Every structure is written in C-alpha cells, then in structure tokens.
Structure 1
C-alpha cells in the first residue's frame, strides 16, 4: 500500500514497491507496447544485416504487402476481442473479389460491382453472427464450416478460373503517388490508415467499443450490467464483414486479378497479425493499433528474411514460433497480473 505523509500542510502519497505494477499488469494495460518494441527491434536487426532494407522503395513495398492481411486482421481483431475467431474471413474476401470482377467483366459499372461485393461480405458476416448469437454455435465451428462453403462457392462461381479486372475504380486503391518526391504511397495505404484510426476511435471513444471489450472480458457480467450481449456480438460480425469487403477492394488494388485460389492462408495470417499485435485470444484485451503493428511485423519479417536469402519454408517456421511466443506471453501476463 502507498504511504501517506503530511508535508507543509499538503498531503502527499509515496509509492512503495508493492504499488508498482507487475510486468504482467504493465502489458495488460498497454498491450501495444510489446508489438511496437518487437517491430522496432526487427527493423533495427534487418537494417544492420542488409544493405537494402531501409531503402525507401523497400519500406513502401513492405507496407503495401501488409495491406490486405492488415485489413483482414482489422476485422479479425473485433471478433477476437469478443473471444471469438473467424476462419472464413479470407474466403469471404476472395468471394467478394470474384463478385466484383465478374460483375465488372459483364458490363456492370465499377461502383455497382464494388457495392455488391462489399454487401455480400456484410451479409456473410451477418449470417455468421446470427449463427453464433441466435443458434449459439461456437464461432470456431461456424467459421470453419463457412470457410469450406465459401471456398467452394468461389470456385463454382468463377468456374475455377481467375478473372482479370480492368475497371479503374476497382483497381483505384493501387494508384501510386509520391510524397516529398521520393516516398511511394498508394491510395490503399491511406485508406488502411484511416480505417485503423476510425476503428481505434470506435473502440476507445464510443459506448459500442466499451461494450465490445466488456463482452469479451466477461459476457455474463456485461449482460447483468445491462449490455445487450447478443446484439453487440452480432454487430461485431457485421462490421467485420464490412471490413472484409473493403479488404477485397484492397486486394484488387494490389493485384488486378480475382483468383478463387488466392489467399488460402489469409485467415491464419490475419490471426497471426492479431496475436502478434497483443490482442488476447481469450477476449477482452487488445488494440487495433497493436494489430497494425502485428501486420507490419509479419511483412517486415518476410521482407528481411527474403533479403537475407532465407527459404520461405523457414520463414513460416519463424512466423509460427513468434505466434506461439506471443500467446505464451499473453498467458504469462494474465497469470502475473
């Protein structure tokens, strides 16, 4: 306990060692600190071990490579915050890209194709959310089944073939511009940043965001305090579906080709970014800013190891080891808090 003393008519409080937060409490209160330090450490290591990592073109490419998975991870973060999981997010995104591409190829306007594709992802999110909240099925089982359904639906819809995209609006997010004459940025990078800032505000400055954290932390306590748990969880899946629809737009901006076989590991990569970003798989703790850094950590790791000549299989091993370490750190932090 802190000791109180009266000095000069003023009450002061001294902090003893017992009052100082433990390591676990520190990381629970500031979950984005660890990812920020890990990202900084990775950048320093690869900058010292390669001659090209800090090149402006390479740094821009790293950010661009993280956009699609980073956007998927944004929606994944919302679901994991409620102690759920989404194994079908990449499949929903791929199906949305196919819908957009096929409609545009059939002569439909790019705007209409874009809106229909995003709407399809939102509907998928609503269906998954309804099964989780109304039928009370486990999110893992629901999204695992939905993954199989959507993957098959995408291949059937596209006839097993990729669909090239030429519409300017659908590929607009890949448009490149240069800041200060040398830093390459795309509209997709700007949109991703705005989405993260908007989601950060929604989660930290609105009642809805507080409800999301409360439901993930202790759903029964949240219900007793007057929070409509089912409505909150359903809204999370719907918003995540909207994010996946925008991720489909990001994907077409990166590669103007809708492929039913693309992003087969996108669901796992998005979970990896969320976990590395400090969000707890047990719900109720984490931040979208941490997720953004988690997505960058994955991109930085792959870029740096590629430049060092490390085989892609060993890169997967390194990424998997990082995920296990991040989950172990989360368990340790909770036990010592």
Structure 2
C-alpha cells in the first residue's frame, strides 16, 4: 500500500515556506506596518475561515477529489445557525450543532454520490454548490441575520498575547490543523486517506473499503465546513447569505500553494495552512501598498498556476 514517505515531508513543505518567507521579506521592505504584531495577527484573522475550509479541502484533494461546494455549504451552515437562534429561539449551542449537522449532511451527500453513484467529484460538488446557494437564499430570503447573542460570536473576540490582540478563532484554526496533522500522520485512518489517493485499487486488494474511506473524508470535510461557518459568523457578527462565494476557490488555492498534489496521495496538511497564510499575506501586503484588489486576484491566479505547474513537473521528474 502506498503512503507518504516521512523523509519527503520537510521537502514537501520547503517550497511553501520559502514562498511565504519571500513574500514577507518583500512586503516588509514596502511597508513599515507589515511586520507589526497587530498586522500579522490581522492576517491570521483574515485567513482563519479559509484556513479551516482548506483542511477539509485538503482531505478531499488527498483522495484525488475536489470540492467546489465548500464555500456555499459553509454559508448555509452559518444561516442555519443564526436563524435557528434568532427566529426559532434555539439556544446558540444547539443551533450551532444544527448548522454543523447540515454541513455534514452535504458532505454525506457528496460522498454518497461519489462512492455509490460513481459520479466525478467535480460534477457532484458543482451541483451541490448551486443547491446549497439556492437553499441559503430561499431560507434567508437573501437577508442578513444580525443582533446575534454574544455566545455565538465569542470566537471573534480577542485576547492579548505579548501585547498583540489575537482572535480566539485563530486559536481554533491552529488547533484544528494540529489535530488534522496528527490524525493524518499517526493513525491508520490517515494513512488510508493517502493510500486511496495514491492507488485505490491496491487499497481495495488489501481488504480496505475505498468507499468507506472516501465517505468518511467527505463527511469530515462537511463537519469542518460547519466549524468554518461558526468562525465566519463570529468574525463578521452576522449570518450572511452572501458569504462563501469566493471561499471555495480560496480554499483550493491554499491547498495547492501548500504543496498538496491535485492528483492525490501527496501533501502535508500543515502546508495548506502555509498556503492560506501566503494568500493572506499577499492580499494584506498589497493592500498596505494601495494596490487595487483586481491585481491581488491576478497575482493569486498566477501563484496557483505556478504551484500546479511545479507539482506537474515534480511528478514527471519522479517517473
């Protein structure tokens, strides 16, 4: 059964770290505000939602799939959480669980269509992306849900660390990355995820259910999208039906920039965190330089193409 080679892990992460270092060095020379503690904390706050989505996206891409629905599913989860509390009077804790249950259900639906009906993940998640968007707009009547209780937005609050304000949501994101890193590296289930991405037929011949692994990956990704919905609500203070419209591509960008192969079976989960931070650093740095947002999008697109090209070249070189 094929798994990742632990000796290759530092090399797999080297490229993203060098890119992050180069970006930070460049923007530090362009703005005195860039390397301040408050600004770097702001970068982490800005990427905490996409960073959490990127964990679920990484799991799916490691199995040679892709999920275009993550942003819209997250938005639906946020609307369910907020409207259940504000309209139905459900306590925030249970409303949040209901939102996560909804996002997990979409993950289950995606997984069943991929494993049972044998549809390509691209087509499946393209369809569920539109379904989630439509349900979000219908249920919310395209209206933002505000005046949320403090307990629902608590993760958007900050605490002082060395004189720098750090959001609790950032801590949650980092904690989830450490947990995912441990599970993928040190458990049999994590090794199965890599193996399915490398060679699903070999996995099947060893007696492991490929469909069960894939289904578990999609459901787990759905749960993570629900947690991301909570962070989004906490950060903005509202349930926004327009949220998530670019986060799916941002999450994929973070995963690709982090060194995970779009062909499956190769990557390090912490690389996706680095990839998310790279995107955040570029947008923050360019904003400090008063560069128009359209150029930020342009540069992000160029970075994705370069990352995918590098992955393709490394695959050819390994043959």
Same fold flag (TM > 0.5)? yes
Paired residues in the alignment total: 312
| Aligned partners of 2:57 and 2:252 also within 8 Å | yes
Return the match for 1:207 from 159, 163, 188. 188
The answer for unaligned runs of 5 or more in structure 1 is: 1-25
Determine helix, strand or coil for the equivalent of 1:185.
strand
Please state which structure has a larger fraction of its residues in helix: 2
In structure 1, the partner of 2:91 is 109
Q: Is the 8 A contact 1:252 1:258 kept in 2?
A: yes
* Structure-to-structure mapping, 1:64-75, within 5 angstroms: 64-75=45-56
Is the Cα–Cα contact under 8 Å of residues 274 and 290 in structure 1 kept in the other structure?
Answer: yes
Query: Does 1:46 find its partner at 2:27?
Result: yes
Higher gyration radius (CA): 1
Does the residue aligned with 2:151 lie in a helix, a strand or coil?
coil
Q: How far 1:27 moved relative to its partner?
A: 6.7
Preserved contact between residue 9 and residue 268 of structure 2 (Cα < 8 Å): no
- How far off is 1:29 after superposition? 6.8
Q: Within the alignment, does 1:83 sit opposite 2:64 as a pair?
A: yes
Where 2:12 maps in the other structure, the secondary structure is coil
Give the TM-score normalised by structure 1: 0.90
Aligned position for 2:110:
128
Residue 23 of structure 1 is matched in structure 2 by none
Q: Does the CA contact (< 8 Å) of 1:98 and 1:259 recur in 2?
A: yes
Moved more, 327-336 or 167-176: 167-176
Structure 2 CA distance, aligned partners of 1:161 and 1:265? 19
- One of 218, 227, 237 as aligned partner of 1:246: 227
Q: Deviations over 1:136-167 (max 9, x none)?
A: 11000000000111101000000111111421
Residues in 1 aligned to 2:177 and 2:11: alpha-carbon distance in whole angstroms: 17
* CA displacement 1:191-226 (0-9 Å, x = unmatched): 111100000000000000000000001111111122
Q: Following TM superposition, by how much is the alpha carbon of 1:309 offset from its aligned partner in structure 2, in angstroms?
A: 1.4
Aligned to 1:14: none
- Say which of 204, 215, 236 aligns to 1:234: 215
RMSD over aligned Cα atoms = 1.3
Distance 2:104 2:150 in 1: 23
Deviation of 1:172 (Å): 1.1
Equivalents in 2 of 1:90, 1:262: separation in Å? 8
Residue in structure 2 matched with residue 324 of structure 1 by the alignment: 305
Residues 122, 245 of structure 1: 8 Å contact kept: yes
Where does residue 271 of structure 1 map in the other structure? 252
Alignment deviations for residues 44-70 of structure 1 (CA, whole Å, 9 cap, x no partner): 111112111011111110010000000
Return 5+ residue gaps in structure 2 as ranges: 1-6
Q: Give CA-to-partner distance per residue, 1:106-139, whole Å, 9 cap, x none.
A: 2211111111001111111011101100111100
Runs of 4+ deviating beyond 3 Å: 26-29
1:28 and 1:334 in contact (8 A); partners too: no
1:30 is displaced (CA, Å) by 2.9
Is contact 1:27-1:333 (8 Å) kept?
no
Q: Cα deviations across residues 307-327 of structure 1 (Å, max 9, x unaligned)?
A: 111110011010000000000
